Amino acid sequence: MTQSGRTTSLRITEIFHSLQGETSRSGLPTVFVRLTGCPLRCSWCDTEYSFTGGTTRALDDILTEVASHHCPTVCVTGGEPLAQKGCLALLTALCDAGYSVSLETSGALDIAGVDPRVSRIVDLKAPGSGEEARNLLSNIPLLSPHDELKLVLASEADYEWAKARIAEHRLTERCPVLMAPVQGQLKPAELAAWILRDRLPVRMQVQLHKVIWGNEPGR
């Protein structure tokens, strides 16, 4: 198989229609394309079921299923979608088909090849994830106001680390910055209080889909 055109195939865990639970698109009906596999192992990962398994599917087949949901907004997620070479072709094909497309990525892989029409939601892994060493800092200068940077925080130490990275890289001048508490480890009210105390120009979020449906896969 080549990795361009309609001969591309990808390993897919699930495709489903739900409400976007994160980012500035939170609340928007969205089709999610969850790619299988991730080279990271964040301590608080909530999509471990996407690490293995899945089904190999042709790009055309994926596009047909996305179209069947009659929804203009698509999110490509994982796992770590960029770990599959075919992800770039999928993103471009979705943009060509007229969808408003976002990509959720760990921040550990190069985002330079992503179609510029895609809104890239890039994680910066805090120490509590156990994967801080995987942050690919060369991604940061590539971020534009059309993208978003996401910090998932498990503790006050993570928050202080995040605040220092925001200042060091002037992150809030590059793109919207999101902060989210790890469910069950950091109380949303605590994170909210710190953000307000420090007057950080970030957007705090809780995962809307978990508020509505709990931890069900396919939501």
Residue 47 CB, nearest approach to ligand SF4 (Å): 5
The reply on whether position 176 binds ligand SF4 by CB under 6 A is no
- Interatomic CA distance for residues 182 and 117, integer angstroms: 30
User: Measured in whole angstroms, how far is the alpha carbon of residue 11 from the centre of its chain?
Assistant: 17
Whether the CA torsion 210, 214, 218, 219 is positive or negative: it is: negative
Binding-site member from 12, 31, 42, 66 for ligand SF4 (CB under 6 A) = 42
The reply on whether position 80 binds ligand SF4 by CB under 6 A is yes
* Binding-site residues from annotation for S-adenosyl-L-methionine: 44-46, 79
The reply on whether position 90 binds ligand SF4 by CB under 6 A is no
Radius of gyration of the chain (CA): 17
The reply on whether position 22 binds ligand SF4 by CB under 6 A is no
Q: In terms of C-beta density within 10 A (0-12 exposed, 13-18 middle, 19 or more buried), how is residue 171 classed?
A: buried
Binding-site member from 54, 78, 128, 181 for ligand SF4 (CB under 6 A) = 78
Q: Determine if the peptide bond prior to 54 is cis (ω within 30°).
A: no
The reply on whether position 185 binds ligand SF4 by CB under 6 A is no
Q: In terms of C-beta density within 10 A (0-12 exposed, 13-18 middle, 19 or more buried), how is residue 23 classed?
A: buried
Residue 156 CB, nearest approach to ligand SF4 (Å): 21
Residue 44 CB, nearest approach to ligand SF4 (Å): 7
Two tokens, residue 206: 């809780």
The reply on whether position 73 binds ligand SF4 by CB under 6 A is no
Phi-psi region of 54 (alpha: psi -120 to 50; beta: other; left: phi over 0): left
Residue 80 CB, nearest approach to ligand SF4 (Å): 5
- Interatomic CA distance for residues 164 and 158, integer angstroms: 10
Could you give the string, one character per residue 103-142, with x where binding to ligand SF4 holds by CB under 6 A and - elsewhere? ---x------------------------------------
Residues forming contacts to ligand SF4 in the complex (CB under 6 A) are 38, 40-42, 45, 47, 78-80, 106
